[in-house]
Structure formats: structure tokens, C-alpha cells
Structure 1
Amino acid sequence: MQPVIYQPLKGAKRIKVFIPYELFALREAVKQMNSSFWHPHQKLWSVVNTKQNFESLKSICGKHCKIEKDIAFTPIPSVPLNDNAINALHDLEKALVLKQYSSSSIRIYKKMFSVFLGKFMQRNLREISKEDIEGFIYELIKKSKISESYQNQIINAIKAYYEHALHMPREYYDVQRPKKTRNIPNVLSKDEVLKIIQAPKNIKHRAILQTIYGSGLRVSELINLRIADVHSSEGYLFIKDSKGKKDRKTILSEHLVLLLRAYYKQYKPAYWLFEGQTGGQYSATSIRAIFRKAVKETNSNPWATVHTLRHSFATHCIENNINMRHLQNMLGHNSPKTTEIYTKTIEINNKTITSPLDSLLKNTTLQT
């Protein structure tokens, strides 16, 4: 087998490379490159997409390496909708508004359902069969190479229309979903988290990152925090209308209380705990920019996202022997099985776990 370099697509942030297992020296050379990262599920290495890195990879892999095109998502052509389709889209929106779906969810559902309507708007939607729907999704997978996430989103939109707008029996929209992947969440080490949350010089930016990690919040939950949600004397944050429209309480760090007080004295927010420069809620884009800058400055895992801080909070809680039921409540999970995934992210090494081999050979002398 030979190494393969995948030509990055326009706008791609990383260059991926496949290195056969037996090419140890080559793999070590790529490993030593600045920004190199191993993708265990894809069995690929990658580096930041620059012209210099691409040339370096070609030099390392040698003249016998292959250069192949990366697999791209083929855009699904947009089709102008007729009156029948526009009315169906309106019916879906009305049904979702009445069920109090969030504006972002409604936007995604409408976008996905528009793709479905582009295929079937010339037909009576009540007469579309389950087989028609599955054939349509099969075509998207084969021709446009849609992801599992995209497939689930478009099924959810179709399901919402037939269930909530047309009130049809489930047999009409209970279509085959992709096999659920069981990926282990990406987690930062405690040292990486400490560097990232202390990196910002601006006290507001520092408070934002430390609130997300310290209480295990989603970005949307951080944005929706009100000043009144900080219960410093009782030691908890109140999270209102989180994912699934649930209220919950989560831990409020004593250190974070002091930081928030200092931040409040300096910025004096009026209603929302974190407000933008012109008032109103802080934006998700700004929060991600703060995080990306902190990651870059600390040379931390380049694949980490703001949500990785929440994953890291959960993992570090388990490492600190926090009760799983308490952790489930703090994270707002419906099922304990969702919380238990973090037991798989705990760092495993000979500092945290004793191998039975060490126990057996504790009092013996090494034989060579």
C-alpha cells in the first residue's frame, strides 16, 4: 500500500493524508509536523491547509504517493416552489409555531422540507408513500452524498409535516433512518482547559468561557442567561428553556462567582448576563471567535469547539467522582444513557488505573 494525500477542497481548513500502518518512519515525520492531528474514526492524519504544508507532505511521502480528490458534498439544486409547495411550507411553519418550536428549529425544518418539496411539489402530498420518501432519501445519499446528520434532519422535517400539519398515521412517515454512530465526544485535558479559559485578557471573554466550562453549558444557554439566573448565595445557575424546553439548575463555581462580580462591576449589564456592545444578547458567533482565539493562542487541540468545554466539564466531573444522577440533572439529559457516554472519555493511563499485571508482578524482579 502507498500513502495518499487528499487534495483539499476550496475553503477546507485541513489537508488529510492516509499512511499505511507499516510505514512507521513516514508516519512519525507527519506526526512531527506543526498542527498534525490523528482522526481515529477516519484512520487519517491531517495538517492545517497551507501551500507549504501540502508541499511538505508531498516531500515526506515521496514520489510514490498518490494524490486524490477529497470527497465532497454535492450541492442539491434549488428549485423554485409552486403555489402548492409554498402552501405546504406555510402549513408546516404554522404547525411548528403552534407547538412552540424555536425560531432556529423552524428555519431548519423549512429549509429541509423545501428540498423534499422540490421533488414532490407536482404531486398530491397526501398520496406520497413511505416507499416514495425512502426512494427520495436513497437518491440524496447516492447522488449528493448527504451526511447522516443531513439525512436525519430531512426525515425530521418530513415527519413534522405529515404528523403535525396533515395529522396522518405514523406508517406514512416512519422511514428508515441511518444507523446511529456511537462517537466518543472530543474532550480537552484539564491542563488544556485551564490554559484556554485563562487565555483571554478581556474579563468578559474570560467570564464567558469559564461560565460555559464551570457549569457545563451549551452556547445557546450561555446566551440566554439573565442576571437573575445567577443564584450566588445558593450556589447554582438557573437555566430556563434549555434544549427540549426544559428548566434546570446547574452548579455555580465559587471562583466563577468572584469573576462574575468583578465582570458585573466593570460592564454593568442591564438584563442579560452577557450583552453585546450595543445591548441585547451576546452572539454565538462572537463566543466562537473568543474560543478559537484562545485555542490558537494556547496551541490547544485545533479540533476543539466551544461545545468541547461542555464535554470536558462532564468528563472531569466523572473523574472527580460526581454522582451520575447529579451530573445528568446538571447537563439536562433526559436519559442516563446519554450521560453515561462520558464514562468512555475518561483518560486512561497508568496514573489513573493500575494494570493487573502490575499487581501480579509488584514484588517480583524484572527478568531480561
Structure 2
Amino acid sequence: MKTIFLRNGEIKRKPFVLLEFPFDEELKELVKTIPGADWQPKLKAWTLPYSDGVTSQLLALFKGKAWLDYSAFKKVEINNQKKAALPEMDAGIAEEIEKFSDWMRNRRYSESTIRNYIHSLGLFLRFTGNKNPAEINNTDLENFHKDYILKNNYSASFQSLVINAVKLYFSNRLKRKLEPIEIERPKNPRLLPHVLSKEDVKAILLAHQNIKHRAMLSLIYACGLRRSELLNLKPQDIDSSRGMLRVNQGKGKKDRLVPISEKILELLREYYRYEKPSVYLFEGQTSGKPYSGKSLENVMNQAVAKAKVKQKPTLHWLRHSYATHLLESGTDIRYIQELLGHSSSKTTEIYTHVSQKSIQKIRSPFDDL
């Protein structure tokens, strides 16, 4: 296992915890689940707000994933703290959270959900002072909401995550419900997807001379793939005779079929003759291992720079653009839902709000003045 080094830091006179480790996609995603985690390019480290219980929090989070070296990390005495630090998690609570983790894993919850839930539950139980879970009631959850979530200005999504984790734990582990009266579910902000013009997409896809880089970006747009779906593809997932691409275990553990055009097949054949991947369709420097997510992001950023696109699109913008361009070309939204692997049509309907075909038909009353 890799080792994560903890050390003290200070930014704008505030104490921070610095996490340093060689790049690892799984560890990076774990760190991102911690509230307040931020990447500092100049320091080449992740920073977390300092708290007295941070070491126990990190030990629980990275258990079985990485070694934690905190030999150079020291407790910081902070005067006039605005909030009381959460206590260290005691052994009994840690064991209970481990049992909850095993319970979710046995019921095939995704690893990302398990990580998020045990982290959220751990925060709540530490807030109560490691109170016996059998003695916890609605008031404890309401106080946590008021004195921790709202006081520290955590996001609406984090609030919902904590409530979901706590309610699942109590309803399935302790067989009783917590129904906090004073807590209303926050309204998540309605964010529209970012969409590129077809001209910008073409410029990005043609920016690289490297055949592998062009093939990866082109396939994401051509089939509306998520990053993880592209990286998990294998050569046998492409059925060229039927013109279909099989996406295995996409988001929500759903399989789906997506049409793949002859144009993209020709590009993939050229790539395959040149690279000859052994296991995954797109492999990194080590044969048989998938291409890394970070490297793929770098490929996208380099293409954007070469194409001189004014915006700063991410890989997911290509998927959004695929869906919107399909809608603008007249494809029924129910088919787009199937192609994207959305469980609900409401998720797909958001593309109607960014489609130029429908919006540009609207005549401004200003034109009639």
C-alpha cells in the first residue's frame, strides 16, 4: 500500500493539515470526499482544515487503502477557536462504523457510497461525544445540523448526504427511525450542463496528432460516455458487425448498448493496429492496466489549449454536448435517456434547457417595439 504523509501547514494564519502522497486516482477520490479538502498546486499537497480529531478521521477513511505516516504531525493549540473541535472517535464507535460498512458492502452498495456514508456517520457520532447510538435521538441530529453543518456553511449536498447516512444506519442497524422535525431537506441548486458548439468539439477532437489521444476523446463524444466508462472498455465490448458499443456496469451498475458509427470504428481500427492493447481498450504505460483518469484529464486539457477554445471544458462537457446535439438533431428524448443510461427522464430533460433549437425559436418582445 502507498503511504500518505501528514504534516502541519498554515494558510492565511489558519492551521491546515497537509496530505502528501504519490499520485493515485483512488486515494485522490477518497480525499475529495472530506469536507474542505483542497488541492494546492504550489505545495503539491492536499490541504484540510485542522481539527483535533483529524488523525482518527483519516485513519478510518484510509483503512486498508494506504498507510498513514503522521510522525511529523503535531497537535496545534488554537486560541479563540470559533468552534469546538470534535472529539477523537473511540474504539467502540469505530467498531460500530466498521460493522455498518460491512453491512453496506454485503448489500452491494458502491464503494464510493460506503466511503461517503461512513465518513458522514463518523462525523455525526463524534459530534455527539461518542454517545451510545442506542441513546441518540432526533434532537442530537437537529443540533448537529444547526451547530455543525449550518455553522460551518457546508453545502446542501453534504447536508443531504449526512442525513441519508444517519437515517440508513439507524433504520437498518438499530431498527428504528430518526425523523428530525426541525430539518428540512435542502434544495439543491439547479445547474445547467455546459455545452460546446459542434465547431469547438471538432477542434478539440482534431487537436491531437497522437492517435490514442484522438481516439479516447472522440469515443467519449461519439457515444456519450462517462470517463470511467471509457477507461473500463475492453476490445470485445465493440461489436463492429452490429455497429454497437456495450457499456458494462456504468453508473448505477447498469449495462447499456450505444450505437457506434462507422466513422469512429475506422478511427478505432487505426488505433488498434498501432497500439494493440492486451486487456483494456485504452491502456497506460503498463500493459494490461487501464489508462488513468488523471492522464485522460491532461489529454483533454492539452487538446483544449491546442484548439484555443475560450472556455475551459472538462471531459464531461463532451457527454453533455453529445446529448444536446442529439436533441437538436431531432432525436427523441426517450432514446437519449437510454443512450446516456439515465434512470429517470427528468435527468435527461435538463438538456431541453440548453438546446439552441428550442431556445432560439423564441422571439424577444424587444423585437416588436
The normalised TM-score by structure 1 is 0.71
Unaligned runs of 5+ in 1: 1-8, 11-72, 362-366
Q: In structure 2, do the counterparts of structure 1 residues 349 and 103 end up closer, same or farther at CA, with 3 Å as the change threshold?
A: closer
Please tell me whether the aligned partners of residues 223 and 283 of structure 1 are also in contact (alpha carbons under 8 angstroms). Answer: yes
User: Offset at 1:117?
Assistant: 2.7
Partner residue in 2 for 1:17 = none
Deviations for 1:269-293, whole angstroms, at most 9, x for unmatched residues?
1121111110311211111111112
Partner residue in 1 for 2:92 = 84
1:289 corresponds to 2:289: no
SS at the partner of 2:255? strand
SS at the partner of 1:276? coil
Deviations for 1:35-60, whole angstroms, at most 9, x for unmatched residues?
xxxxxxxxxxxxxxxxxxxxxxxxxx
1:344 corresponds to 2:353: yes
Q: In structure 2, do the counterparts of structure 1 residues 214 and 131 end up closer, same or farther at CA, with 3 Å as the change threshold?
A: farther
Partner residue in 1 for 2:27 = none
User: Offset at 1:190?
Assistant: 1.1
Aligned residue pairs: how many?
290
User: Which of 250, 265, 277 in structure 1 is aligned with 2:258?
Assistant: 250
SS at the partner of 1:238? strand
Alpha-carbon distance in 1 for matches of 2:182, 2:307: 47
1:101-140 map, 5 Å: 101-140=109-148
Alpha-carbon distance in 1 for matches of 2:48, 2:145: 14
RMSD of the TM alignment (CA)?
Answer: 2.9
Please tell me whether the aligned partners of residues 227 and 315 of structure 2 are also in contact (alpha carbons under 8 angstroms). Answer: yes
Structure with the greater alpha carbon radius of gyration? 1
User: Which of 204, 207, 227 in structure 1 is aligned with 2:215?
Assistant: 207
Q: In structure 2, do the counterparts of structure 1 residues 238 and 349 end up closer, same or farther at CA, with 3 Å as the change threshold?
A: closer
SS at the partner of 1:333? coil
User: Offset at 1:74?
Assistant: 8.8
User: Offset at 1:348?
Assistant: 6.0
Alpha-carbon distance in 1 for matches of 2:152, 2:201: 38
1:173-188 map, 5 Å: 176-188=184-196
Alpha-carbon distance in 1 for matches of 2:308, 2:355: 22
Alpha-carbon distance in 1 for matches of 2:174, 2:309: 50
Alpha-carbon distance in 1 for matches of 2:185, 2:49: 21
Alpha-carbon distance in 2 for matches of 1:340, 1:235: 27
1:277 corresponds to 2:277: no
Please tell me whether the aligned partners of residues 81 and 118 of structure 1 are also in contact (alpha carbons under 8 angstroms). Answer: yes
SS at the partner of 1:286? helix
Please tell me whether the aligned partners of residues 318 and 324 of structure 1 are also in contact (alpha carbons under 8 angstroms). Answer: yes
Unaligned runs of 5+ in 2: 1-10, 13-46, 55-86
Partner residue in 2 for 1:190 = 198
Alpha-carbon distance in 2 for matches of 1:95, 1:121: 24
1:75 corresponds to 2:49: yes
The normalised TM-score by structure 2 is 0.71
User: Offset at 1:88?
Assistant: 2.0
Partner residue in 1 for 2:341 = 332
Partner residue in 1 for 2:230 = 222
Please tell me whether the aligned partners of residues 229 and 250 of structure 2 are also in contact (alpha carbons under 8 angstroms). Answer: yes
Identity %: 38
Alpha-carbon distance in 2 for matches of 1:148, 1:354: 34
Alpha-carbon distance in 2 for matches of 1:254, 1:330: 18
User: Offset at 1:302?
Assistant: 3.7
Equivalent position amino acid for 1:197 in 2: L
Alpha-carbon distance in 2 for matches of 1:169, 1:142: 23
Deviations for 1:66-120, whole angstroms, at most 9, x for unmatched residues?
xxxxxxx993732532112211220121012111123233223233332223212
User: Offset at 1:121?
Assistant: 4.8
